[in-house]
Amino acid sequence: MEVIVFLWKTFGGGSLIAMAGVVLGIIALTRLSRLEQELARLRAQIAALRAPQAPADPIAALRERLVQANRSAPTADFAPGEPPNPLAPAVPIAPAEPIAPAEPIAPAAPAPHQFGETLRRPQETSPVPPVVTPFDPLPASATSERRETPARAPTPPPAPAKPDAPVAQGQQPTAKPKPSSPSRDIESEVGKRWLTWAGIALLFLGAVFLLKYAYDQDWLGRIIGPRTRVVGIALAGAAALAWGLRLQRQGMTAIGEGVAGGAIALLYLAVYGAFSPALLLVPEPLLPGKAAFVLMAAVTALGMGLAGRRDALAMAICAMVGGFATPLLVDTGGGSRDGLFTYILLLDLGVLGVALYRRWRALDLLAFAGTVALYLGWWHQREPHATGIAWAMLAWLAVFHAVFLVLPFVHHWRMRSPVTIERFCLALANLAFALAFAAHLLRADEPRLLAVICLMLAGVYALVGVVTRRRVGNDPKVVHGFLALGAMLLTLGLFYLLPVEAVATAWAAESVALLWMGYRFAHPQTRAIAHGVLAIAALRILVVHLPLGDPAAALVFNGWLPGLLVVPLGAAALATVHRVAGIAGDRVQRWCWWSAALAIVLCGTAELHRYAQGHPAAWVLWPSLSAIAVWWALGGMTLLACARRWISPSTAVLAVLPILVGAALALQTYTVAWCGGAPAANPRFLSAAACLAAGWLWMLIGRRELAADDLQPVRSTVRAVVVIGGLLLATLETVSWCAVGESSSDHAVLHRALTLVWSLSAIGAAILAATVRSRAIAVIALMMQTLAVLAAAGLFFRDCGRQVPFANARFLLAALAVAGLAVQALAWSGADLRRRIHHCIQVVATLFISAELCWWAADHVDRHQHIGYAVVAVAWTWGLSALVAFWRADRARGVGAVVLGTLAGLFAGSLALLAYAWEWHAVLPAVNARCLAAVVTLTALVYASRLVRSGRLMTANASASSAFAWLAVGYGFILSTLESYHFFREAAADPVAGARVATFAVTVTWLGLAATGLAIGFRIGNRTTRLLALALFALTAAKLLVVDMRGVQQLYRILAFLLTGAVLVGASYAYHRLERLVSGTDRADR
């Protein structure tokens, strides 16, 4: 250990890592030549296998084979001086005999490639004589052999073509295994494995809590002694381990693994219970710390060995968790750092070895998490106030980093398999932890050493990437991942080397250099990393440099603004590089220019905001927000000028964004007090009008760029926004001017007057639109009516006095607004739009009625109960509205009403569930106004399910009907849970006892529902029902762990743990038995 510390202090941890990288590089280079030779030989063999097939013409194929046969035949039969005939046969040809004319070729002749394959396939019969062309006479031996061959049976007609591939001669067709359903696999995994693990865990926790309860009640001391308890738990663990191994041998792998894992946990419990009296098994320790440590390490080794031999992942996880928990459990306050870290290193090597042998990637992540936890735990507990640099901790950090860097990739290097995402995420987590802890130790005292470590780690990860690429192959994920890690480490190295003010500038310059290198070496990933580095520089300026602005500094001429301009200048530089290179196209270049323009707008906004904070006297008549709004509008007009210069429609569309932002900022200035000046002749109004004028000017100037049909909706949208903005601006200006010096009562009068004026104006505009058939006027009328409805809704938040329900000015104005919406439907000729307006009328009317009921509850019900009554009343209102919507859908055959009813029902159901937050003294469960409000929602959902299934709206949709039905079932489940819990809790005199009874009732109810659902799912053969029952089992177990864990000292909660665990294990056993029964039935059928 001292040698490691000496080397670390002398040369630095980065030097050791660099030496290791050099050694690995030499090893890789020595094997590079041999690998390249093997690769060339393999490529030659692949090229030979991929030789071009025979020509498509069968005659040309015959000629080619004949030429090849004559070239390989002996030439002794040729006369001296006579040139060899390439078309002559290789054997003497007998006198030719007349050949009968060939039969005409049937239309179903084999395809050319099939004919070629027939020629190339070797025959299993006697050797075939040399092939001749159809133009030459056949040899005599061939004709005589054909005459002497006995007649064969007639060839049967060809069978019709089948979609399956043809079966080779002499082979029997094998039945393809039927792929299992993914949902069935998920159900089997949940039913056999997850239920087993959850059940074993709950049984273990229940046993522990039962032991503690028995100890508190002094049951153990009366029956069995301390040694007998420990031995009994150990024997129970051994028996459970034997039973689990037996279950695995019988084929019940999942439940066997779970039982074996629970047995390992029992063995840990026995050892720890004998060591620590805190578990309340023994009054004083029966084992010393070292003996307990050795025994728990032996249990860990036993568990890992059996897990690796039996291929039991659950047992391996239990053993590994126990191994990492051993130092914590047997900690006596002493111990040495090197001993602990040596134990962790050996445990990591063992776990990673088993993971490598069994290919369990999950163990890698768990081992890394355990190592990090113990490492940080030692640091915070034993060395929190250490002075100087903890070189020993850094040395062990380098060792653990090297282990988790190399070992997870050994399998991929050895098997030449692609690197999985889990292994790469482990590499990222390993690097993040190592760098974070090293920065924590070295940032204050040795920042340069930390920078050198980052730069050296960049080289190490690049070397690991090269080795992985050589061993695995050209995997793009590996190459890009390690390239990104190298760029990140390089960026961090610059961060630790340079001063704070120059970091963002250096990163921006680095991004430009990386972009040029990406174009120079034709590497797109490097170009992408360049843009990422510039984004990181922008983030640093936003987080670090932006808050450093001095409000007292001058406008523009200061040292803070140039720091902000690094990002837009960097984006412009990237755009220039893209333009000069010209490889990535105009799209990326345009994006860079857009980013630069928006960055300049943001920089100007930050500068104006900073100056306004330091010089408030300069913005008395002209609010600073108005100046910022004008600046955004100017930025939009500049982008529009660039769009006309480039003839770019996309740039013209982007130009409208700053203009709209400027208009929004200008309207936001009306949230402050009146700044002075005459109405419509003050800087605030003129700034907002200038922004809206810029939007109108955008439509006029950008007409050529927006002439395309796909951009016409953009122009229409901007026109509508400008018109709405003008109406809103006039309204705000009027309200702001009239509110000067007036009392709150006059404000209420102004509110009512505006509501009345807007409603009457909208009604008149709608009648005019219907008369002249103008769509634009109809749109404006509808917008004005929307404003009137909003103003009428605002009246419910202003008039708070006690009034007669439904017979007051507030509700009458709201009714006028709803009537105006009904008139708006006359201005539109389309039936669909009229139906939508009718939907809006129903929604608005429901809202107004709900608001009136809320005010009625506030005026006439006790102040402690009026919120609950208001929520119940609103739930009733929206539930009835949902029923009305579904009735309208049934009468008018409209799908939109179904959607409206669904939304109204969901809202009503949510409010009905929310009403359980207030006490409601009910005599009987489910027979009270609060529960009946939710029942109305259930009725609406059932009505919707029957309506959709009936097909009166459209074609019957079984899936939508099932969705409504399942929604009703889920809502009923939640309702029944809340009703049972709150009824028992509110009915009890003692709140504590009532909460306990209610919690236990919910647990029993869920268990009963889950068991019933599982039985029904098996009975009717519905997989969805079974999966929901399994989910309810899981929810019950989670409730036990989260809710009931806080009161496990009560006996009934301990029994709930045991009962739930037994039920889960029983359900898992039922799944195993069902699977074996189904398998036996299948074999009997076969």
Compute the average pLDDT of residues 923-943.
Answer: 83
DSSP-based helix, strand, coil % in the chain, nearest 5: 75, 0, 25
pLDDT at position 780 is 78
Listed residues 970, 1000, 1030: the one ending a domain: 970
Statement: residue 171 has pLDDT above 60: no
Which of 35-49, 142-156, 451-465 is least confident? 142-156
Which of 631-645, 678-692, 701-715, 883-897 is least confident? 701-715
pLDDT at position 277 is 66
Note whether residue 355 is domain-resident: no
Average pLDDT, rounded, for the chain: 72
Which of 6-20, 622-636, 956-970 is least confident? 6-20
Statement: residue 211 has pLDDT above 70: no
Please write the tens of the pLDDT for every residue from 723-742.
677 777 877 876 777 766 55
Compute the average pLDDT of residues 855-871.
Answer: 79
Q: What distance in Å separates the CA atoms of residue 551 and residue 608, rounded to the nearest whole number? A: 10
Compute the average pLDDT of residues 240-255.
Answer: 75
* 59, 654, 690, 785, 1039 from 115: Cα distances, Å: 11, 63, 81, 80, 70
Token pair listed for 824: 């708006």
Statement: residue 923 has pLDDT above 70: no
Residue bearing the bigger pLDDT, 234 or 632: 632
CA 121 to chain centre: 53
pLDDT at position 494 is 66
Token pair listed for 227: 């040694």
pLDDT band at residue 889 using 50, 70 and 90 as cut-offs:
confident
pLDDT band at residue 239 using 50, 70 and 90 as cut-offs:
confident
Please, what is the angle between helix 524-540 and helix 503-520, to 10°? 170
pLDDT at position 227 is 73
Query: Which of 62-76, 89-103, 283-297, 984-998 has the highest mean predicted lDDT (pLDDT)?
Result: 984-998
Please write the tens of the pLDDT for every residue from 998-1043.
887 787 778 777 877 777 777 777 778 888 888 888 888 777 777 7
Which of 162-176, 184-198, 994-1008 is least confident? 162-176
Which of 682-691, 913-922, 977-986, 1065-1074 is least confident? 1065-1074
Statement: residue 62 has pLDDT above 60: no
Which of 291-300, 687-696, 892-901 is least confident? 291-300
Of residues 392, 374, 289, 294, the one with CA closest to residue 333: 289
Q: How many domains in the chain? A: 2
pLDDT at position 114 is 40
pLDDT at position 819 is 92
Listed residues 924, 939, 970: the one ending a domain: 970
pLDDT at position 841 is 92
Statement: residue 818 has pLDDT above 90: yes
Query: Which of 123-127, 485-489, 559-563 has the highest mean predicted lDDT (pLDDT)?
Result: 559-563
pLDDT band at residue 113 using 50, 70 and 90 as cut-offs:
very low
pLDDT at position 35 is 66
pLDDT at position 553 is 84
Listed residues 11, 26, 49: the one ending a domain: 49
Statement: residue 82 has pLDDT above 60: no
Note whether residue 617 is domain-resident: no
pLDDT band at residue 1045 using 50, 70 and 90 as cut-offs:
low
Note whether residue 797 is domain-resident: no
Q: How many CA atoms lie within 13 A of 583 on its CB side?
A: 13
Q: Which range of residues forms the domain containing residue 34?
A: 2-49
Q: What distance in Å separates the CA atoms of residue 472 and residue 483, rounded to the nearest whole number? A: 16
- Run of H or E including 72: helix 58-72
Please, what is the angle between helix 683-701 and helix 712-738, to 10°? 170
Note whether residue 944 is domain-resident: yes
Note whether residue 984 is domain-resident: no
CA angle 610, 612, 615 (to 5 degrees): 110
Q: What distance in Å separates the CA atoms of residue 709 and residue 707, rounded to the nearest whole number? A: 6
Compute the average pLDDT of residues 335-364.
Answer: 76
806 contacts: CB under 8 Å, gap ≥ 6: 852
pLDDT at position 789 is 93
Statement: residue 850 has pLDDT above 70: yes
pLDDT band at residue 750 using 50, 70 and 90 as cut-offs:
confident
pLDDT band at residue 96 using 50, 70 and 90 as cut-offs:
very low
Compute the average pLDDT of residues 668-692.
Answer: 79
Four-point Cα dihedral 431, 436, 437, 439, nearest 10: 120
Compute the average pLDDT of residues 455-480.
Answer: 73
pLDDT band at residue 155 using 50, 70 and 90 as cut-offs:
very low
pTM of the full predicted structure? Answer: 0.40
pLDDT band at residue 674 using 50, 70 and 90 as cut-offs:
low
Note whether residue 942 is domain-resident: yes
Note whether residue 319 is domain-resident: no
Note whether residue 904 is domain-resident: yes
pLDDT at position 814 is 93
Give a three-class secondary structure readout of 56-71.
Answer: CCHHHHHHHHHHHHHH
Statement: residue 767 has pLDDT above 90: no
